[in-house]
A and B are shown apart, each in its own frame.
Chain A
Amino acid sequence: MPASYAHRHGLRALGAGIGLRRDFYEALPRTERALDWVEIIPENFLTLGGRTQRALDACRERWSVLPHGVGLNIGGPDALDEDYVSRLSALVRRVDAPFFSDHLCYSRLGGVHLHDLLPLPFTEAAVEHVVPRVREVMARVGRPFLLENPSYYAKMPGGTLAEADFLRHVVEQADCGLLLDVNNVYVNAMNHGYDARAFVDALPLERVVQIHLAGHEVRPDVLIDTHGASVCDEVWALYRYTIARTGAVSTLIEWDQDIPSLDAVLDEADRARGVLREELRR
């Protein structure tokens, strides 16, 4: 395996984290339970003052904070949003994040923010479009950057590359890290009928710096990546499979809908921490 992205950038595995969501603004900074780091959705902290900032400051006093964006629009046709990138850069510095991340997707067309993570066609043209944009973001922000493999329900027209090759080409040519969402791998594998483990094996695993675990909704004909349920057994198994190949990497329990109690989310983080410890003992 080539030298890992994390090693080259001096990034250490942080353990198990959870997201700072509005429901937890008061309780999370005061929790006495184990927690290794906190993820934030930067869009919630770039322009909103008051309670959001107080919660962020309180978390930053205790934990590493990693911004994980949804609005960078790295794959879209519009120029990168100047205001967004400069505020994001300031936020990354303010929380002194060792790295930051967003999704390999587009979310804006013709100046309109669609507020969704929309899939790109798996083509060389899309790779060539995204790569310089990733480089530009990394140069502007000046910290290591990870792209996440998004979930997708529809293969976009004109695709010529396998999904794993598409991901590999982007992160290798841009020389960025990979945020591997294991639930997304599982959901995509089920929705598109491929083998999840073979997909993981086909990825540039030496670039994985962070893992996401989340729950999904099972509909009769499709799985929807809702982040609104507990991590299912199959995803835990795929997580173990992945960790055995990447080694222990920072792992996030991701909830965005029907968020349960803080304790329930921390229980899942405990479980992830247990898996990471087992891997370290191996």
Chain B
Amino acid sequence: MTPELKHFFDSMGAYFEGVPEGVGLERLYAAHPGWQTPRTRTALYGGFVRGHVRGALEKLFPLSRHAVGEAAWDALVEEYTRTRPARHYEINRLGEAFPAHVADRVEALGLAPHVPALARFEWADFAVFASEEVAPEVVERLTANPTLTVLEHAFRICAHVRAGDARKVPDAGEELALLWRHPGQLATFYMEATPSALLVLKMAVEGLTAEHVAAATGMSEAQVRADVVRFARDGLVLLPPESK
């Protein structure tokens, strides 16, 4: 690469780094004396590049956005664009570090305490939906859904998301949220972990039979089997063909 071309890329890199638009544009033009192109045309690119980050974040985190309000959202997006630029060619991946960024900024921006957990949930929702894991078409024994993700937080986020009103604040309370992709519908399913869901997952992970669980817990074997079938229907666990 010639020094001139390197200088060009360096100057564009500095422009896109996120210094305030007016300042960045003047610096860019100062680096190229005699450049005739109208500044308004060049500035379109600064707007596009920032717009892609904002657009991706707003698609991935609609509930968090509404929960923090427009001013705090703008601040979050601008700081994030500047401090954690996209490092992956798949544009949605730029949202991966956003929940951590939100968590870092709770105090400074006066965010409601549940927002980091909500952002983490929204990212997990997408990550599960788009997971590269492939649920096997046939399993030999009861198997946990390979896309299963477990989140632990101090708010009732599942009920909050289900209610769909981001302006409300979720109830406080420890929650283990389970998120997975339904193997047939390929949509994200989620629920707050219940004793029966955790028991069925334990059976899958440890290879326990309904008979064994019934003996150990005092539940009826029919009840254990019914739970397994119910959670298999929702795709939380995968059943071998003979058990369907």
A binding-site residues for B, Cβ under 8 Å: 43-44, 46-52, 54, 71, 76-77, 81, 84, 106, 108-116, 118, 121, 123, 125-126, 128-129, 153-158, 191, 221-222, 224
11 pairs from A and B in contact (CB 8 Å cutoff) = A48-B130, A49-B133, A77-B1, A108-B89, A113-B87, A114-B52, A115-B94, A125-B2, A126-B5, A154-B41, A191-B41
Do residues B44 and A49 form an inter-chain contact, with CB atoms below 8 A? no
Known: A52-B130, A125-B4. A154 touches B45 (CB 8 A): yes
Q: Max chain B CB contacts within 10 Å: which of A43, A50, A81, A108?
A: A50
Of the residues A116, A121, A191, contact of B45 by C-beta under 8 Å: A116
Of the residues B8, B48, B88, B131, contact of A156 by C-beta under 8 Å: B8
Do residues B45 and A155 form an inter-chain contact, with CB atoms below 8 A? no
Do residues A50 and B86 form an inter-chain contact, with CB atoms below 8 A? no
A250 to B107: give the CA distance in the assembly, Å: 56
Do residues A112 and B86 form an inter-chain contact, with CB atoms below 8 A? yes
Chain B residues with Cβ below 8 Å from A43 are 89-91
A156 to B186: give the CA distance in the assembly, Å: 45
Q: How many residues of B contact A (CB 8 A)?
A: 44
Query: Any chain A CB within 8 A of the CB of B212?
Result: no
8 other contacts beyond A49-B132, A123-B5, A154-B37, with CB at 8 A cut-off? Answer: A43-B90, A106-B9, A109-B16, A110-B13, A121-B5, A155-B37, A191-B41, A221-B40
Of the residues B44, B89, B181, contact of A154 by C-beta under 8 Å: B44
Query: Any chain A CB within 8 A of the CB of B42?
Result: yes
User: Separation in Å of the B56 CB from the closest CB of chain A?
Assistant: 8
User: Separation in Å of the B58 CB from the closest CB of chain A?
Assistant: 14
Instruction: Digitize B74-113: 1 where CB-to-A-CB distance is under 8 Å, 0 elsewhere.
Output: 0000000000011111111110000000000000000000
A111 to B91: give the CA distance in the assembly, Å: 14
Chain A residues with Cβ below 8 Å from B91 are 43, 113, 115
Do residues B1 and A125 form an inter-chain contact, with CB atoms below 8 A? yes
Q: Max chain B CB contacts within 10 Å: which of A76, A154, A158?
A: A154
Residues 23-73 of B contacting A (Cβ, < 8 Å): 32, 34-38, 40-42, 44-45, 48-49, 52-53, 56
Chain A residues with Cβ below 8 Å from B93 are 47
Chain B residues with Cβ below 8 Å from A154 are 37-38, 41-42, 44-45
Do residues A113 and B88 form an inter-chain contact, with CB atoms below 8 A? yes
A196 to B16: give the CA distance in the assembly, Å: 31
Q: Max chain A CB contacts within 10 Å: which of B5, B56, B131?
A: B5
- Who on chain B is nearest to A25 by CB? B186
Q: Max chain B CB contacts within 10 Å: which of A81, A121, A157?
A: A157
Instruction: Digitize B10-21: 1 where CB-to-A-CB distance is under 8 Å, 0 elsewhere.
Output: 001100100000
User: Separation in Å of the A109 CB from the closest CB of chain B?
Assistant: 4
A84 to B87: give the CA distance in the assembly, Å: 12
Do residues B86 and A113 form an inter-chain contact, with CB atoms below 8 A? yes
Chain B residues with Cβ below 8 Å from A112 are 13, 16, 85-87
Known: A50-B129, A154-B37. A109 touches B45 (CB 8 A): no
A81 to B12: give the CA distance in the assembly, Å: 20
Do residues B1 and A129 form an inter-chain contact, with CB atoms below 8 A? yes
Do residues B89 and A46 form an inter-chain contact, with CB atoms below 8 A? yes
Known: A50-B129, A158-B32. A115 touches B5 (CB 8 A): no
Query: Any chain A CB within 8 A of the CB of B216?
Result: no
- Who on chain B is nearest to A88 by CB? B89
Do residues B89 and A84 form an inter-chain contact, with CB atoms below 8 A? yes
User: Separation in Å of the A194 CB from the closest CB of chain B?
Assistant: 15
- Who on chain A is nearest to B36 by CB? A155
Query: Any chain A CB within 8 A of the CB of B6?
Result: yes
Do residues A111 and B90 form an inter-chain contact, with CB atoms below 8 A? no
User: Separation in Å of the B180 CB from the closest CB of chain A?
Assistant: 11
User: Separation in Å of the B183 CB from the closest CB of chain A?
Assistant: 10
Instruction: Digitize B169-186: 1 where CB-to-A-CB distance is under 8 Å, 0 elsewhere.
Output: 000000000000100001
A52 to B34: give the CA distance in the assembly, Å: 47
Do residues B12 and A46 form an inter-chain contact, with CB atoms below 8 A? no
Do residues A118 and B45 form an inter-chain contact, with CB atoms below 8 A? yes
Chain B residues with Cβ below 8 Å from A224 are 44
Of the residues B8, B44, B85, contact of A121 by C-beta under 8 Å: B8
A36 to B64: give the CA distance in the assembly, Å: 42
Do residues A47 and B132 form an inter-chain contact, with CB atoms below 8 A? yes
Smallest CB-CB A-B distances: 9 pairs: A157-B32, A71-B89, A157-B35, A154-B41, A109-B13, A125-B2, A112-B85, A115-B52, A49-B132
Chain B residues with Cβ below 8 Å from A84 are 89
Query: Any chain A CB within 8 A of the CB of B134?
Result: yes
Known: A116-B48, A155-B37. A51 touches B186 (CB 8 A): yes
